[in-house]
Structure 1
Amino acid sequence: MSEEGRFTIRLEQQEGFQINVGFDWKRAPDLIMDEPPPLGEQSGPNASRLLAAAAANCLSASLLYCVFKEEPPDNCLRAEATCIMVRNAQKRQRIGGLEVTLIVNELVTASPRFARCKTLFEDFCVVSASIRQGIPLRVTVQNEQGVILHQSE
């Protein structure tokens, strides 16, 4: 379940604000991301939606793994992720918070492991635990020849 080390996701702008995301897993299909109007055509999720989905997916997988290990029953969990958008002091839009609700059925709650897992699973979710702590981010802009044009501190 863990991912040690590093991995690289490749993104390529198609047209307008549509970005094709190519994953490092051969069996994972590419994903088109886009922005809502007036910038884009909303032909795929934007980054804020993927962040909310990533947090909800990670929490779901962590709970299922804790309760059932490798073989969770089908259709025993649903999740809802709400992303709260705010403006900072400079009037720039930011994610002010995420609210994730996991909706489990009786197969989950009847498991003897559920009582213990409901107090543990959040700590094992890589994404939500990282978001809570803040994630260091280094940004580099370079041209096609590899010359660095900008690098964040």
Structure 2
Amino acid sequence: MSEEGRFTIHLEQREGFLINVAFDWKRAPDLLMDEPPPLGEQQGPNASRLLAAAAANCLSASLLYCVFKEEPPENCLRAEATCIMVRNEKKRQRIGALEIRLILADVVTQSPRFARCKTLFEDFCVVSASIRQGIPMRVTLLDGQGVILHESE
């Protein structure tokens, strides 16, 4: 699970605001990014959407690793990432906050490790811990029925 050191991702503009992202992993497919109109045509996610997805993915992986180690069961977690856009004092659009909701199946919440992991996993998520240094983020764990199991500040 460790990714120490450096990595390089290559981006190349195709046309307009359409950017191809080539990852440093040979088995990872390229990703097309684009901007919403009027700049782009929404042919792919923009950077704000990828940041929200990255935070939700990292938190999901951290929780699953803490609870199950290398073998999490299939389809035991869903996530929702909400990005709240604001304007700063210069009227420039910024990410004002992120809200991440992890919806957990019973197999997660009934695991003997869940009680400890629900208060521990966020500290091991590289992405969300880094984002939190500049962007407020609230993380909520819910069961399949929508009951809040844990909420960070």
Whether these two folds match at TM > 0.5 is yes
Instruction: Give the Cα separation in 2 of the matches to 1:26 and 1:134.
Output: 32
SS of aligned partner of 1:107: helix
Instruction: Provide the secondary structure at the position in 2 that maps to 1:133.
Output: coil
Cross-structure match for 2:15: 15
What CA deviation, in whole Å up to 9, does each residue of 1:75-129 have, x standing for no partner?
0000000000000000000000000000001000010000000010000000000
Letter of the structure 2 residue corresponding to residue 55 of structure 1: A
Partner Cα distance (2:50, 2:33) in 1? 9
Rg larger for:
1
Match of 1:71 in 2: 71
Structure 1 unaligned spans of 5+: 136-153
Partner deviation per Cα, 1:125-151 (whole Å, 9 max, x = no partner): 00000011249xxxxxxxxxxxxxxxx
- Counterpart of 1:30 in structure 2 is 30
Q: Distance in 1 between matches of 2:17 and 2:132?
A: 29
The 3-state SS of whatever aligns with 1:14 is: strand
Give 2:124's aligned residue: 124
Matches within 5 A, 1:57-68: 57-68=57-68
- 1:148 maps to which residue? none
After the TM superposition, list the runs of 4 or more consecutive aligned residues in structure 1 that deviate by more than 4 angstroms: none
**TM-score, with structure 2 as normaliser:** 0.87
TM-score normalised by the chain length of structure 1: 0.87
Amino acid at match of 1:42: Q
Q: Percent identity?
A: 87
Say which structure, 1 or 2, has more relative contact order (CA 8 Å, 6+ apart): 2
C-alpha distance in structure 1 between counterparts of 2:93 and 2:109, whole Å: 38
The answer to which structure has the higher strand fraction is: 2
Q: Which residue of 1 aligns with 2:140?
A: none
* Structure 2 unpaired stretches of 5+: 136-153
1:36-47 equivalent positions in 2, closer than 5 A? 36-47=36-47
Hey, what's the Cα distance between the residues in 2 that align with 1:60 and 1:75? Answer: 12
